[in-house]
């Protein structure tokens, strides 16, 4: 069987590069950073645009006709998604980390902005779902919204790692989740501004086609006042980390993507 992946990847990558290079939305986000006005809203817009371009390019290039037996085999899905989504991760987390650095500077925080790891588990889940479907027709939706959703989750990963870092450094950060588009009741319930330690566990979760945003600006935080509150915070934080660990385990059990 001929290996279709190299030629397929080449056309996906060149179309992706051309579309991102010419994107007015990406230029707008980059411009906001250049003029020191960028926030996580710009990062979110940037991520959605990158995700939409990739989903579109994947959808145009990968069809039942080009796939052997009209099926998405594991080794095809694995190579294509790992390469393209790693690039998404680099672009989006790179931009987000630059914006975080700007926000840190504006808040007079001399803290290095943190970069999250590539979420390999989530990509593996997507690859498995794609390659285990009976036909590509049944699975092609996975190359649409889940790609955009994944791209947005990179922004959340940057926020999460930086806000954890700030909380550990003794700051009192707050997070804001806002609704976007036609928000469902679940999203309406989650929207709001929370202190780090009181944020709901689902704050970063998104259902299909959800475009809600999570924002973080260290300027909105306050310094922890005294040793007593500091101790109380540390206890709350330990509990929070314990809860997050069990949630992650549960997620893995269900093989959720």
Residues that bind Zn ion (CB under 5 A): 187, 210, 212
Q: How far is the CB of 81 from Zn ion (least distance, A)?
A: 24
Instruction: Tell me the Ramachandran region of residue 125: left when phi exceeds 0, alpha when psi lies from -120 to 50, beta otherwise.
Output: alpha
Q: Compute the least distance from the CB of residue 210 to Zn ion, in Å.
A: 3
Q: Contact at 8 Å (CB) between 104 and 111?
A: yes
Q: By C-beta, is 52 or 78 nearer to Zn ion? A: 52
Distance (Å, rounded) from C-alpha 48 to C-alpha 12?
A: 18
H-helix or E-strand spanning residue 186:
helix 185-190
Q: Taking a C-beta distance cutoff of 8 angstroms, is the pair 155, 47 a contact?
A: yes
Residue 192 Cβ vs Zn ion, minimum distance, rounded to whole Å: 13
Q: How far is the CB of 99 from Zn ion (least distance, A)?
A: 22
Residue whose tokens read 């007593």: 228
Burial class (CB in 10 A: 0-12, 13-18, 19+), 218: buried
Q: How many CA atoms lie within 13 A of 78 on its CB side?
A: 6
- Which among 157, 160, 170 is positioned nearest to 225, based on CA atoms? 170
Question: At closest approach, how far in Å is the CB of 250 from Zn ion?
Answer: 21
**Residue number, 81 or 214, with CB nearest to Zn ion:** 214
Residue 57 vs 212, nearer CB to Zn ion = 212
Closer Cβ to Zn ion, 89 or 206, answer by number: 206
Q: What is the Cα Rg of the chain in Å? A: 20
Of 77 and 187, the one with the shorter C-beta distance to Zn ion is: 187
CA distance 189 to 179: 10
**How far apart are alpha carbons 18 and 56 in whole angstroms?**
13
3 state SS of 64:
coil
Which residue number, 51 or 221, has a Cβ lying nearer to Zn ion? Answer: 51
Q: Which is nearer to Zn ion, 111 or 183 (CB)?
A: 183
Cα–Cα dist 214/153, whole Å: 10
């Amino acid at each position: 069987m001929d290996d279709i992946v190299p030629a397929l990847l080449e056309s996906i990558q060149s179309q992706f590069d051309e579309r991102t290079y010419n994107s007015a939305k990406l230029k707008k986000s980059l411009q906001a950073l250049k003029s020191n006005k960028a926030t996580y809203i710009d990062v979110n817009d940037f991520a959605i645009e990158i995700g939409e371009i990739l989903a579109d390019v994947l959808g145009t290039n990968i069809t039942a006709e080009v796939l052997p037996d009209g099926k998405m085999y594991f080794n095809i899905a694995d190579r294509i998604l790992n390469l393209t989504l790693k690039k998404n991760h680099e672009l989006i987390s790179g931009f987000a980390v630059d914006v975080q650095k700007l926000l840190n500077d504006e808040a007079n925080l001399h803290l290095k902005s943190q970069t999250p790891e590539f979420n390999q588990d989530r990509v593996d889940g997507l690859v498995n779902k794609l390659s285990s479907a009976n036909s590509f027709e049944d699975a092609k939706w996975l190359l649409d919204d889940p790609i955009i959703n994944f791209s947005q989750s990179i922004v959340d990963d940057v926020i999460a790692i930086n806000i954890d870092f700030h909380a550990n450094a003794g700051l009192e950060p707050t997070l804001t989740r806002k609704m976007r588009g036609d928000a469902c009741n679940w999203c309406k319930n989650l929207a709001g501004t929370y202190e780090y330690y009181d944020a709901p566990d689902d704050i970063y979760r998104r259902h299909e086609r959800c475009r809600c945003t999570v924002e973080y600006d260290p300027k909105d935080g306050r310094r922890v006042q005294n040793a007593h509150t500091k101790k109380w915070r540390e206890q709350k934080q330990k509990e929070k980390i314990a809860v997050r660990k069990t949630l992650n385990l549960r997620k893995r059990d269900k093989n959720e993507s």
